[in-house]
Structure 1
Amino acid sequence: MLSKADLKCVVVGDDSVGKTSMLMGYATDRYPTQHVPPVFDNYAGSLTVAGRKIQMQIIDAVEEEQNPKFRHSLYAGTHIFVVCFSVIKPESLKHVEEVWIPEIRLYAPDTPFILVGAQADLRSVDVIRDMLAASGHQPVSTIEGITFARRVGAACYIETSPEVEKNIRKLINSAIASVLDFRVAENSSCAIL
């Protein structure tokens, strides 16, 4: 079982899917409203699981196609992954199945992961829906996200957006706590929206 100061969480996903905004929202309790830099500094904090305070480190594994070995080196000792996609970029969900899950299964085969559908607030924006429709696509629905998460073995599915900025830390902490409990009671499931 985990002891104090030893929960390592690595966040993966395609570029420009909302990972960094989500992490900045988590670390500061507010989503950025200006340009978001492509890299998030690592974050150290704590959460409480089953009445016990656990120190946590969150690492943003930036997608670097020229140096995937660097990203893979971050995976050693990871306790939980957060795999992100954008609900308005269906191809990013495809990459979750074709790139990110196989990669974490290769380098950390027994490590649980949470699936996060980011940019959920943009799902209902008409201009975005029209652009997707013009290319024969549509936003990923909440039901599709939950169904996909179950199919690929995610321990939990959550959706994030600036609209839930006040609850982002609570959402992610709840999801991580549920996964830690999930490792004990493997028949449970989680969808936090």
Structure 2
Amino acid sequence: MNCILVGDRTVGKSSLATLLQTGRFYQENVPTVHDIVRKTIIHNSQSIKYYLWDSSNNNVYDNSISILYRKADVVLVCYAVDNIISFNNTVSKWIPEIKQFMPSKPFILVGLKSDLRFEKDSVCEQEAKTVADKFNAQTHIYCSSLINNNINLLLSTTIQIQQNWQMLHAENTDQK
């Protein structure tokens, strides 16, 4: 299963990818150039090969992002819960980009740094759910790499969404 992380810089995408790869959280921010995390996950007694592309949002790499989108089964549209601009950019940039490159494939709206969600001026859960519903995201999930909160939920939800999408797509193909 192939996933891609998209979102503004410094929202926590690389921290999530690093946590999945190493099992550890690192405080320092290192710019990303399409890192790939490979992980085998047991889901419903099945061994799933999970590939997660941590995308760069640098304009130099814009041409290759379309290739990553086409390979992705599910996109994780990320924002930092303590950064309203990154949340607004999910609507103005990231979701439209997904709709352009992969209009029928599923995506999840992911609020990273959920350990900061009760800080002043953070994105409230109802706001995020409203955006997720409005743009037909499969769901919205809060998670935190720092405190390892909801990471397994994010992985299992992503796998379940991909499997459901594949079954639905196979049924629609069979009916034609």
Short-chain TM bin: 0.7 to 0.9
1:156 and 2:126 are equivalent in the alignment? no
In the TM superposition, 1:45-64 aligns within 5 A as 45-64=39-58
Offset of residue 12 of structure 1? 0.5
Deviation string, structure 1 residues 4-57 (Cα, Å, up to 9, x no partner): xxx11111001111111111122222221x313122731111223443222121
Query: Distance in 2 between the 1:98 and 1:167 partners?
Result: 26
Question: Which ranges of structure 2 fall in alignment gaps of 5 or more residues?
Answer: 169-176
Query: Distance in 2 between the 1:70 and 1:171 partners?
Result: 29
Match of 1:175 in 2: 157
Aligned pair in 2 of structure 1 residues 12, 162: CA closer, same or farther (>3 Å)? Answer: closer
2:70 alignment partner, SS class: coil
Query: Distance in 1 between the 2:6 and 2:137 partners?
Result: 14
**Aligned partner letter, 2:40:** S
Count, aligned residues = 167
Query: Distance in 1 between the 2:96 and 2:114 partners?
Result: 25
Question: Which ranges of structure 1 fall in alignment gaps of 5 or more residues?
Answer: 1-6, 130-137, 186-193
Offset of residue 166 of structure 1? 6.3
Contact 2:37 2:53 in 1 (8 A): yes
Query: Distance in 2 between the 1:53 and 1:21 partners?
Result: 24
Q: TM-score, normalised by structure 2?
A: 0.84
Residue number among 157, 165, 168 corresponding to 2:148 in the alignment: 165
Match of 1:140 in 2: 123
1:36 and 2:29 are equivalent in the alignment? yes
Aligned pair in 2 of structure 1 residues 69, 49: CA closer, same or farther (>3 Å)? Answer: same
Deviation string, structure 1 residues 138-179 (Cα, Å, up to 9, x no partner): 2101222222212211112111224541652x1222221231
In the TM superposition, 1:118-133 aligns within 5 A as 118-125=112-119, 129=120
**Aligned partner letter, 1:171:** L
Residue number among 85, 93, 100 corresponding to 1:99 in the alignment: 93
Q: TM-score, normalised by structure 1?
A: 0.77
Offset of residue 106 of structure 1? 0.9
More off after superposition, 143-152 vs 174-183: 174-183
Residue identity over aligned pairs, in percent, reads 28
In the TM superposition, 1:8-23 aligns within 5 A as 8-23=2-17
Deviation string, structure 1 residues 88-130 (Cα, Å, up to 9, x no partner): 11111111111111111111111101111011212334xxx2x
Match of 1:87 in 2: 81
Query: Distance in 2 between the 1:177 and 1:115 partners?
Result: 15
Match of 1:24 in 2: 18
